[in-house]
Structure 1
């Protein structure tokens, strides 16, 4: 009897594994046909409810596809019982970073006051909201700001970033341009981190600017935040530390 039970369990596990593999295969096939390109999926996870898979694309987008690979939807999945936005939580978890692991030598560093609060931003020199943020942060007190320059908005974004980085005073050149509109002069060539910053942004699924991170590794909102909201976010992190 025990042998029969053991054999039955083994058969059940094998069939379950084959079913899961078949479901994944259908999902991949369906998504590839939708995206008109193979290999669009970065990560595939079977959800613990319904007969759906969470599909993370290489461009950072999250889709939900049924096990047959015939139906999908793009949007936020809500857990009604928990009153939780499952998609938003997953996106936040995926976008969280460890500040201590960042190559901060690739960022422009600015210290305001005692510098005890930390902000990390990813910005493009041609980003209008980044310029608005730079003007706001002139009045930010007691903070250290690390700005990773990336080039995603215009053909000359990389040139401007390189000229700023190669300036004698990077922080001044950045603020001269972003705050005062004084374009950085063509600087002598130097080894710049722009390409590395682009790779870093891709790793953390950063597709827009400004992207702002707090000291706890969480993103502060979905883009530009006015100074008052930024102060609130910084205060929450400081309070959590205590």
Structure 2
């Protein structure tokens, strides 16, 4: 056995294969795939399943050989060789964390961040601890109830910025009110009046406004009802949440 091993070693040395194998083992330069190359390969596999996935975000996960794929607000998982793609939530039992929801939140946060601050109606907290984006509808009773407590949210360090989501869509009264408020010279004052009266807030329609873009974004985020709160970390909280409960949820 020892003699046979020596003969094999001599053969490898004589042919140069031994050196080549050693270099490949230690450097990986002959066969290694860069992370960019891997992501490009996995992206192509994802596109076979989802042709419209122009630029999916691919990240590693705590599980070896499994990668996270985020397409819009959808989270998928793909094996390292790209053969298998599957959906479902990945849970970290020890940390008690839903890793899939964390990924979805990250995607939402990135999408909301694309909104122009000048297009949002903002009620700032003096000592800001959190900033939330609330998709609101002037005709929604729970949106009106939430707005009644806007100062209480601010007192708890929560800055509120409103995005328009007239649920009835274009050519509706809710749409017209949203446009009038967003076109007002003083949007904050117009929003206050609109929420109190269920009116247009004294504003008038204009040609240039962000209501359509914000309505489209709500659809991309999967928002169906109002109010819907998107927290600074991307968590989505549907419905009216009292100031003290929202503060607790954001701290957690």
TM-score by length of 2: 0.63
- Change in Cα spacing, 1:78 to 1:141, as seen in structure 2 (3 Å) is same
Partner of 2:4: none
Verify: 1:135 aligned to 2:135, yes or no.
no
Following superposition, the deviation at residue 169 of structure 1 comes to 4.5
Verify: 1:92 aligned to 2:105, yes or no.
yes
Verify: 1:16 aligned to 2:32, yes or no.
yes
- Conservation of the 8 A alpha-carbon contact between 1:41 and 1:55: no
Instruction: State how many pairs are aligned.
Output: 222
Following superposition, the deviation at residue 167 of structure 1 comes to 3.2
Q: CA RMSD in A?
A: 4.3
- Change in Cα spacing, 1:82 to 1:165, as seen in structure 2 (3 Å) is closer
- Conservation of the 8 A alpha-carbon contact between 2:39 and 2:58: no
Q: Tell me which structure has the larger Cα radius of gyration.
A: 2
Partner of 2:199: 182
Distance 1:62 1:100 in 2: 19
- Deviation string for 1:122-172 (max 9, x for gaps)? 4243774xx413313313435153223256762246543221122355334
- Change in Cα spacing, 1:233 to 1:50, as seen in structure 2 (3 Å) is closer
Please show how residues 196-235 of structure 1 align to structure 2 within 5 Å.
Answer: 197=214, 201=217, 206-208=221-223, 210-212=227-229, 217-219=232-234, 221-227=236-242, 228-233=244-249
Unaligned runs of 5+ in 1: 238-242
Match of 2:177 among 153, 157, 160: 160
- Change in Cα spacing, 1:28 to 1:190, as seen in structure 2 (3 Å) is closer
TM-score by length of 1: 0.65
- Conservation of the 8 A alpha-carbon contact between 2:139 and 2:198: no
Distance 1:139 1:22 in 2: 50
- Conservation of the 8 A alpha-carbon contact between 2:60 and 2:66: yes
- Deviation string for 1:71-103 (max 9, x for gaps)? 322221013344432212333344447x99974
Partner of 2:7: none
Match of 1:147 among 148, 155, 162: 162
